[in-house]
Amino acid sequence: MSVTEQPCYTLISTPDSDYPPPDQLRKELEIGDIKAKIDALKKAIYIILNGEKIPGILMAVVKFVLPLQDHNVKKLLLIFWEIIPKTSADGKLLHEMILVCDAYRRDLQHPNEFIRGSTLRFLCKLKEPEILEPLMPSIRSCLEHRHSYVRRNAVLAIYTIYRNFDFLIPDGPELIANFLEREQDMSCKRNAFMMLIHADQDRALSYLTSCIDQVHSFGDILQLVIVELIYKVCHANPSERSRFIRCIYSLLNATSPAVRYEAAGTLVTLSSAPSAIKAAASCYIEIILKESDNNVKLIVLDRLIALKEQPNQERVLQELVMDILRVLATPDLEVRKKTLSLILDLVSSRNIEDIVLVLKKEVTKTHNTTEHEDTGKYRQLLVRTLHSCCIKFPDISATVIPVLTEFLSDTNELAAADVLVFVREAIQKFEGLRPLIIEKLLEAFFSIKSVKVHRAAIWILGEYATSTDDIRSVMSKIRQSLGEIPMVDDEIRKAAGDQPDGESSATQGNVVVSNPTAPNARLVTADGTYATQSIFSTAVTTAKKEERPPLRKYLMEGDFFIGASMATTLTKLALRFVQQISSTQIQNQFCAEAMLVITAILHLGRSGLPQKPISNDDAARLGLCLKVLSERSPILVEVFTDACRRSISLMLAAKAEEEAAAQKNLEKNNRSVQADDLVSFKQLLSRNELGGLEDVFESSLSQALVGSAQRTGLDLSVSKLNKVTQLTGFSDPVYAEAYVNVNQYDIVLDVLIVNQTADTLQNCTLELATLGDLKLVEKPSAIILAPHDFANIKASVKVASTENGIIFGNIVYDVTGSTSDRNVVVLNDIHIDIMDYIMPASCTDAEFRQMWADFEWENKVTVNTNINDLNLYLQHLLKSTNMKCLTPEKALAGDCGFMAANLYARSVFGEDALANLSLEKPFGKSDAPVTGHIRIRAKSQGMALSLGDKINTIQKASVKHVVA
């Protein structure tokens, strides 16, 4: 297999400019001054990095640039020697490199420590032992240099050379162990200790044992390496845990947060004792509180959440829940959201009162602080958390409800709506709290500022006010909120009363506009001078001072849906009042009062005074309520008084059942042990069996390099084959195929290139370009392919947003001995699937409606499929688009020929995708396909279009494929 790329570790941004011909470059290197030689050397580096060759450049640099002592030249030469080919076509070292090797040796003995250190770092990148062998004495001597920068890089050079070519320095571990004993600089000790960990672990353990009591005084870079060594040793040999666990405990109090974080993670993996878990969790909490970076806070919170997954560790965390609550002082909303979610999982009967007390204080703080964009969202999170706590532990509801009802007057409608959702569930489930809730709702009734909140509050009061006193109180509040009845006459009187006699005025809403040309009234001030005041300004001031009652204000604005809600509430109240009062006269008086209010609303809606007239639906509802109150049919009375209560009970029960099922699914994901499984004792396992345990350091490193593990449980080879894309045909001179590895924010293309000819392909280059919101990170380097040889080339592509992208390009190569132009093989396009970035997510109905109204991009997709079952089509759509159905299963149950559902997903870039399904199937035709529309909404155009294209592509699947 061919070498795919030259060993180059330096990335340089290449400017888009024209470069001089080779002869001019050699001339500038030969006769130019220092500045001209530096510019020429830079251009030569750019040209070589682009895969081009410069004949004769090597000797020109050796003759005219290498002897120079300028530091800038020295820096550029290190890059030049790194990227220049050092061997001939047959693999032998070039003769010119002997001169270069002598220059390396002189630089290793240079009096300037920077030149020595940078040369040592450069030697770490060399892969030719022939160059390194004569330099070994000079590298060894650098371990005795007075400056720590040189010694530090000398250790790194020895470590790299020993790892790659151990025959060049067979006594490397012993040399570094002796160096470690006498060294005082922490960076040098860290590099030396790191080499011993990987080269000779026994020597590293011996050194650590000799100084284990002084570990707390070491520098943080050395402490981090010590933690890694202890983990590796204890992972491979559990019997060593007792030897080093005290050292890990001491590092929990280190000054560096990075050391404390790693020590806490290591302690958790080495010991499951409650004291160890508590110490590690306390350390995590301390890091969260002291670190200012929100990303660090989120990462450490994830570690706490991982601790909670184990039942024995969850009990320990429950004792620390008050410390975790201190994290809520962080202003970042994501940190607060994750913290509240963790607290909700840790709540128990022992700590519920303390948790609720702190949450109530946080609620009060948000009520008294300046309104900010995130303040309302945080308040909403607090309300939902308190809601969940009260449902789990009903005893604390009585203390929470008075605090939450204060938020009914909040300007943030979502927080107030969440409060009412909680109140609705609490008043249904806890009968003992109904008097308290009704009392608090009546107190807050006038302060409510939102029509939706007012409508929901009226419904709750109408449904659960059952005593005569409560019914009278609710009726009184509604009458006060409507103002004087009949409302039409009252509005006309007010409009007429605001007009001065003899003046024509125009009334519009509640603002009276007078004739500005009217004569001014003349007034005399206290000092005897005249003052004037226009009638125009007086009229406007009067109108501004006038404030309508809240419910009448909604009606005057044209919102008669709340009028229909009031009519339903008044009907329920009147029917229940009739059932409890035996006096016919009192019954008729109350019913007449309710009917008066309903007719006043109906009259106002048809009077033309409001901004919008009443709709036919609302008018029909008002008429129905009047008919029910006048006739009092037993069937309709039962519907209004009992059926509504049963419906809300069934809805809450279905919601609780759905949440319980979701929780059960989460618990199923936990690893379960069967009763007849073998019991494994770690103390009795052999070393080979222990080697099968997962190494956290290695697994995290592999995930960082190649991305997270596949979500599917398929074998790795099978999952890779699914993502292989053929780029050329089998008859092309160069065959190519690519494995597309999609990580969260980047795509790695592993391209296999096969030379199917009998010729050697020179400068074989993979040229790629992108379409969409993709960006090629680096240009793949050119390779040489022998006849019938193959090679792998990797290319990275950055992804910026959730859109369908296309990667296209070609393979360009030269044939040895050919005088023709370069040969080109055009590649097939690689289509990047949007589904790799979309994940299912959840949101409430209110949030869905809010986002649906806010998002401006909509894509309407017509259903065109051969699937003839509504539920089957929905499941196929969910599986293909990674979206989650927000509509409950019970709402989708049944066979009526129609289906409406809401879908939601979220991308890794934080973009939201909404979809609404409206499906139907012709009644009585079992073989007829599903028809309808899918409306997609997103904040960005690309997201909406890409998701629509995906749905159009997948919805033509056959029934057998869907079932499979």
Q: How many CA atoms within 13 Å lie on the side-chain side of 634?
A: 0
Residue type, 839: M
The pLDDT assigned to 305 comes to: 87
- Range with lowest mean pLDDT among 11-25, 776-790, 818-832: 11-25
Q: Is residue 459 in a domain?
A: yes
| Total count of domains within the chain | 4
Rounded to the nearest 10 degrees, the angle between the axes of helix 241-251 and helix 257-270 is: 150
Average pLDDT, the chain: 79
The pLDDT assigned to 545 comes to: 42
Which DSSP symbol is given to 835? G
* pLDDT over 60 at 707, yes or no: no
Beta bridge partners of 826: 810
Residue type, 768: L
Alpha-helical runs (H) found in 803-917: 845-854, 870-881, 889-892
Report, as an integer, the average pLDDT of 817-823. 66
Asked if 595 contacts 575 with a C-beta cutoff of 8 angstroms, the reply is: no
Token representation of residue 183: 């060294």
Q: Is residue 686 in a domain?
A: no
Q: Which of 269-273, 618-622, 840-844 has the highest mean pLDDT?
A: 618-622
Residue 96: how many CB atoms within 10 A of its CB? 15
The pLDDT assigned to 666 comes to: 58
Q: What distance in Å separates the CA atoms of residue 746 and residue 775, rounded to the nearest whole number? A: 9
Residue type, 202: D
Task: Write down the pTM of the prediction.
Answer: 0.67
Q: Length of the chain in residues, anyone?
A: 964
User: Percent helix, strand and coil across the chain, each rounded to 5?
Assistant: 60, 15, 30
Q: Is residue 271 in a domain?
A: no
The pLDDT assigned to 958 comes to: 46
Q: Which residue has the tokens 């109906």?
A: 602
What is the distance in angstroms between the CA of the first residue and the CA of the last residue of the chain? 41
H or E element at residue 71:
helix 71-83
Helix/strand/coil (H/E/C) assignment for every residue in 598-616: HHHHHHHHCCCCCCCCCCH
Q: Which of 426, 444, 462 is the last residue of a domain?
A: 444
Q: What distance in Å separates the CA atoms of residue 814 and residue 821, rounded to the nearest whole number? A: 8
- 911 and 827, same structural domain? no
- 585 and 475, same structural domain? yes
- 354 and 451, same structural domain? no
Tell me the CATH number at 902.
Answer: 3.30.310.10
- Range with lowest mean pLDDT among 150-154, 373-377, 805-809, 927-931: 373-377
* pLDDT over 70 at 686, yes or no: no
* pLDDT over 70 at 854, yes or no: yes
Q: What distance in Å separates the CA atoms of residue 529 and residue 759, rounded to the nearest whole number? A: 111
Q: Which of 645, 670, 704 is the last residue of a domain?
A: 645
- 811 and 781, same structural domain? yes
Q: Is residue 565 in a domain?
A: yes
Q: Which of 13-22, 330-339, 440-449 has the highest mean pLDDT?
A: 330-339
H or E element at residue 130:
helix 129-132
The CA R_g of the chain, rounded to the nearest whole Å, is 39
Residue type, 44: A
Q: Is residue 530 in a domain?
A: no
Q: Which residue has the tokens 């959201």?
A: 337
Q: What distance in Å separates the CA atoms of residue 63 and residue 79, rounded to the nearest whole number? A: 17
* pLDDT over 80 at 345, yes or no: yes
* pLDDT over 70 at 516, yes or no: no
Residue 144, class by beta-carbon neighbours within 10 Å (0-12 exposed, 13-18 middle, 19+ buried)? exposed
CA of 917: how far to CAs of 225, 737, 865, in Å?
55, 38, 14
The pLDDT assigned to 368 comes to: 61
Task: Identify the domain containing residue 891 by its residue range.
Answer: 836-956
The pLDDT assigned to 513 comes to: 38
Token representation of residue 530: 């005249």
- Range with lowest mean pLDDT among 189-203, 342-356, 807-821: 807-821
Asked if 233 contacts 212 with a C-beta cutoff of 8 angstroms, the reply is: no
Name residues whose C-beta falls within 8 Å of residue 810's C-beta, 6 or more positions apart in sequence: 767, 824, 825, 826, 827
Q: Is residue 454 in a domain?
A: yes
The pLDDT assigned to 659 comes to: 73
Asked if 268 contacts 316 with a C-beta cutoff of 8 angstroms, the reply is: no
- 868 and 766, same structural domain? no
Q: Which residue from 135, 142, 71 is spatially nearest to 103, judged by alpha carbons?
A: 135
Q: Which residue has the tokens 């073998």?
A: 678
- 580 and 486, same structural domain? yes
* pLDDT over 50 at 43, yes or no: yes
Q: Is residue 498 in a domain?
A: no
Q: What percent of the chain has pLDDT over 70?
A: 83
Q: Cα 165 to chain center, whole Å?
A: 45
pLDDT tens-digit map of 616-626: 888 898 889 88
- 871 and 847, same structural domain? yes
- 813 and 733, same structural domain? yes
Bond into 486 cis (ω within 30): yes
Q: What distance in Å separates the CA atoms of residue 619 and residue 606, rounded to the nearest whole number? A: 9
The pLDDT assigned to 736 comes to: 92
Residue 215: how many CB atoms within 10 A of its CB? 20
Q: Is residue 18 in a domain?
A: no
Residue type, 442: L
- 581 and 471, same structural domain? yes
Q: What distance in Å separates the CA atoms of residue 552 and residue 545, rounded to the nearest whole number? A: 16
pLDDT tens-digit map of 54-105: 878 888 888 888 888 888 888 888 888 888 877 777 777 788 888 888 888 8
Q: What distance in Å separates the CA atoms of residue 313 and residue 319, rounded to the nearest whole number? A: 10
Q: What distance in Å separates the CA atoms of residue 185 and residue 149, rounded to the nearest whole number? A: 10
Residue 549: how many CB atoms within 10 A of its CB? 16
Backbone dihedral region of 777: left (phi > 0), alpha (psi from -120 to 50 degrees) or beta?
alpha
Report, as an integer, the average pLDDT of 122-132. 86
Asked if 196 contacts 174 with a C-beta cutoff of 8 angstroms, the reply is: no
Report, as an integer, the average pLDDT of 459-463. 87
Confidence tier at 679 by pLDDT (50, 70, 90): low
Rounded to the nearest 10 degrees, the angle between the axes of helix 451-464 and helix 468-482 is: 160
Q: Where are the beta strands (DSSP E) in 489-606?
A: 505-508, 511-514, 521-524, 530-533
Confidence tier at 820 by pLDDT (50, 70, 90): low
Confidence tier at 154 by pLDDT (50, 70, 90): very high
- 809 and 727, same structural domain? yes
Beta bridge partners of 857: 938
Using DSSP, state whether 464 is helix, strand or coil.
Answer: helix
The pLDDT assigned to 16 comes to: 61
Backbone phi, then psi, for 674, in 5-degree steps? Answer: -75, 155
Torsion angle of the four alpha carbons 684, 688, 693, 694, in this order, in degrees rounded to the nearest 10: 160
The pLDDT assigned to 699 comes to: 54
- 937 and 849, same structural domain? yes
- 911 and 826, same structural domain? no
Q: Please tell me which residue, 631 or 820, carries the higher pLDDT value.
A: 631
Q: Which of 775, 798, 832 is the last residue of a domain?
A: 832
**Largest interatomic CA distance in the chain:** 120
H or E element at residue 314:
helix 311-319
Q: Please tell me which residue, 959 or 106, carries the higher pLDDT value.
A: 106
| Cα torsion 482, 484, 485, 487: sign | negative
Name residues whose C-beta falls within 8 Å of residue 272's C-beta, 6 or more positions apart in sequence: 310, 312, 313
The pLDDT assigned to 14 comes to: 64
CA of 726: how far to CAs of 750, 764, 829, in Å?
12, 18, 9
* pLDDT over 50 at 274, yes or no: yes
Contacts made by residues 327-334, CB under 8 angstroms, sequence distance 24+: 327/285, 327/288, 327/289, 327/297, 327/301, 328/358, 328/362, 329/289, 330/288, 330/294, 330/297, 331/374, 332/294, 332/297, 333/374, 333/377, 333/378, 333/381, 334/294, 334/298
Residue type, 369: T
